[in-house]
Structure 1
């Protein structure tokens, strides 16, 4: 995030007691019902909003933007799977490659023996 987090209400939200999402929240109406819109915080950025039905909220803890920034997930595996699946490619970790030297790869059919 920049020095000043975007204005808005922030919270730590537990959904059905199984997933924790930290971010900027607001109440919205969609599909004829009230929902919570939460923009999850990750790597100092607000991600695309996730809509959650009120009956799915297990615990709602309002907090300041600064507290939300401190409590945001640090690694992508800490995000709920549905949010992680929608991450932009630049926010995904680089693939890990083992440092293997070419000399380590010597199939027997290539040797003179």
Structure 2
């Protein structure tokens, strides 16, 4: 995680319809003639690009301090909604872990993977 302080602004834990929770810096914006919430999700100490959410899609909005947001932020990519995870830069994704069991011949079912 980055040790740099978060920029000033309003932070919140936002629950959106579809069982998605997004934690980050929020502000109200107007786009396409409608009021939207712009939220910059926190991921591993960094603010990601803003995501726009319509007010009617917000299930729960919990304002919090930047410190609380930092403690509750997503630290693994699976904790982010799919639409946000799809836009992560490759450098933000974790490196694949080596699994020695994958190379084990103990349970050889005859299939060869190369």
Alignment TM-score, normalising by the size of structure 1: 0.83
**CA drift at 1:66:** 0.2
Does the CA contact (< 8 Å) of 1:17 and 1:58 recur in 2?
A: no
Partner residue, 1:108: none
1: CA distance, partners of 2:99 / 2:70: 33
2: CA distance, partners of 1:5 / 1:96: 30
Q: CA RMSD in A?
A: 1.8
Determine if the alignment matches structure 1 residue 27 to structure 2 residue 23. no
**CA drift at 1:74:** 1.6
**CA drift at 1:77:** 0.5
Partner residue, 1:14: 15
Q: Structure 2 unaligned runs (5+)?
A: 106-114
Determine if the alignment matches structure 1 residue 37 to structure 2 residue 38. yes
1: CA distance, partners of 2:4 / 2:12: 19
2: CA distance, partners of 1:56 / 1:71: 21
Does the CA contact (< 8 Å) of 1:42 and 1:73 recur in 2?
A: yes
Q: Structure 1 unaligned runs (5+)?
A: 105-113
